Amino acid sequence: MRGLLISIVVLGILLVAGDRVAVVLAQNEIGRKVAAEYNLTPDPSVGIGGFPFLTQAVEGRYRNVDVLVGEWSDQDITVRDLDVRLTDVSAPLGDLVGGDTSNLVAATATATGVVPYDTVKGFAPEGVRTISNSPEGLRVTGTFSVEGIPVPGTVVVTVAPTAEGFQVTPVSVQAAAGGPTIPLALLRSSLTFTVPLQRLPLGARLTAITPSADGLLVTAVAQDVHFSDLP
């Protein structure tokens, strides 16, 4: 009886060890694939959720896979703290261990990251001095041209995703102390601008943008993601 118990314990340890080895191999291969497609250095950190891993691997389906990219740049736009969560992922374990991710498919890919305000400012019209979050909303300060006359002021803007990226639009304006009143209508055309960030890695399109202390928190979603179709 004692020998049987010892054998069961040893078998359990071997199964757990094998489970962890398999999950590390699969995570490393997914990380290498994403890094190669988007020129990332170093490879992103990948975590496959759920335990035991081998139970999911036998089925070839994984509940969620988290890809922690960190910093990513595209079209002179830097996104920090970029994380991508893949859900309902299907991929044969043999392919992953063998270095083949072409058959990997995810039902959804949800990416989140932060676009620093300095990056946003780089696409703003001349005269914008600062962009920051405030209790009133996203606030832009600077000197703005009103019928050819430079006037200092503060503008509260909204940010929304569009087909070209995300658009910054003035919604209210406050003149500097002692300065002239600035009609909002005059600023809407001159101070509305677009940051050309349309997608995040894995084809995720922007769906939501929220101002935060460090920058714009962006969320992007893609459906039916096939690794074989990555650019």
Q: What is the pLDDT of residues 42-84, one digit of tens each?
A: 777 777 765 555 666 666 677 888 888 889 988 789 999 999 8
**Could you give the C-alpha distances from 159 to 9, 62, 165, 178, 206, in angstroms and in order?**
58, 35, 10, 29, 12
Residue 38 is assigned to a structural domain of this protein: yes
**Residue 101 maps to a domain:** yes
3-state class (DSSP) for residue 35: helix
Examine the domain organization and report whether 110 and 129 are in the same domain: no
Tokens for 104, please give them: 């990997």
Domain contains 162: yes
Residues 69 and 181 grouped into a single domain: no
Is residue 56 assigned to a domain? yes
- Give the CA angle between residues 146, 152, 155 to the nearest 5°: 85
Do 39 and 136 lie in one domain? The reply is no
Q: Are 134 and 112 found together in one domain?
A: no
Q: What is the pLDDT of residue 2?
A: 40
Asked if residue 223 is part of any domain, the answer here is: no
Mean pLDDT of the chain: 79
For residue 221, being part of any structural domain is answered with no
Based on the fold, state whether residues 42 and 148 are members of the same structural domain: no
Domain total for the chain?
A: 2
Residue 144 included in any domain: yes
User: How far apart, in Å, are the Cα atoms of 14 and each of 2, 17, 18, 204?
Assistant: 18, 5, 6, 39
In a domain, 173, yes or no: yes
Same domain, 43 and 145: no
Query: Do 30 and 112 have their domain in common?
Result: yes
Same domain, 55 and 42: yes
pLDDT of residue 190: 84
Domain shared by 168 and 181, yes or no: yes
Say whether both 89 and 163 belong to one domain: no
Residue whose C-alpha is closest to residue 161's, from 120, 115, 207, 200:
207
Whether residue 174 sits in one domain with residue 72: no
> Sheet harboring 165-175: ordered strands across?
128-134, 137-146, 149-162, 165-175, 193-195
Lowest mean pLDDT among 50-54, 117-121, 125-129, 222-226: 50-54
Residues 96 and 18 in one domain: yes
Q: How far is CA 188 from the centre of its chain?
A: 29
When pLDDT is averaged across residues 83-111 and rounded to a whole number, the result is 81
Q: What pTM was estimated for this model as a whole?
A: 0.79
Q: Which domain holds residue 58?
A: 2-116+200-209
